[in-house]
Amino acid sequence: MPVSSGSLGHGAARCTRGLSLVEMMVGIAVGMMVVAGASFVAVNQIGENRQLFLETQVQQDLRAAADMVARDLRRAGYWGAAESGVWVGDAPAVASNPYAATTPGAAASVPVSEVTFAYSRGTEDDSIDDAQEGFGFKLDAGALKMRIGGAWQALTDTNVLEVTRFDVVLQTQTLQQHCYKECVGGGTACWPTETVRRFVIDIAGHAVTDPAVARSVRDSVRLRNDATTGACPA
């Protein structure tokens, strides 16, 4: 039976029919859910990367500051004329190291937030040029500062890192030195002593943009130049 052209056109029209409004809305909703899920994952990833960056930056800044303190503090007491303080033969009199003193100068269980010291920048120094040879570190207004050239300069950037703690504790060990002669009346009680000094340093801080990102570092510095007190009997 022949098919009329009218019937063929009506069937083709029904076969090429598009999506209904309901189907389109369901598809858009599913697509939006997929996009929202992907956006949530991306935002979380960005937040985690930012957190990791801040943690790394705070840790590196604190570590760099601690290394700077340790390197400079280790020089405390260096004297360009150190040979003048060595006993030769039975000579009782030797020169005292003018750079030996530090602040704090005695062992204590209570930490302090400032340490000062000096070391020679010449070869035959016998006195301290405080403007050029006096150094130190302290906590001031959220920044760790270093004393250079007689003035205090910021060692950390307060726009990035806020230092909340800078604790310094001095630990000492006293050793008795040997002389060629006993003390007047006998014994060794008057012989000079040598003080071995070690500073324990704690630094803590947090990111300025996110105080929750907080870190701390601890370092121990053994001064290479021991302090000698007293003299051998004449």
In the chain, where are the structural domains located? 51-229
Q: Is 227 exposed, middle or buried (0-12, 13-18, 19+ CB in 10 A)?
A: buried
Whole-angstrom Cα distance, residue 29 to residue 23?
A: 10
* pLDDT value of position 89: 61
With b meaning 16 or more CB within 10 Å and e meaning fewer, what string describes 106-121?
A: eeeeeeeeebbbbbbe
Whole-angstrom Cα distance, residue 60 to residue 203?
A: 12
Whole-angstrom Cα distance, residue 68 to residue 161?
A: 16
φ and ψ at residue 44, rounded to 5 degrees: -60, -40
Residues 141-152: tens digit of each pLDDT: 999 999 988 899
Reference 165, options 110, 206, 209, 107; nearest CA is 206
CB of 80 closer than 8 Å to CB of 126: no
* pLDDT value of position 21: 77
* pLDDT value of position 10: 52
Which residues of the chain are under the pLDDT cut of 50? 1
Conformational region of residue 85, where left means phi above 0, alpha means psi within -120 to 50, and beta covers everything else = alpha
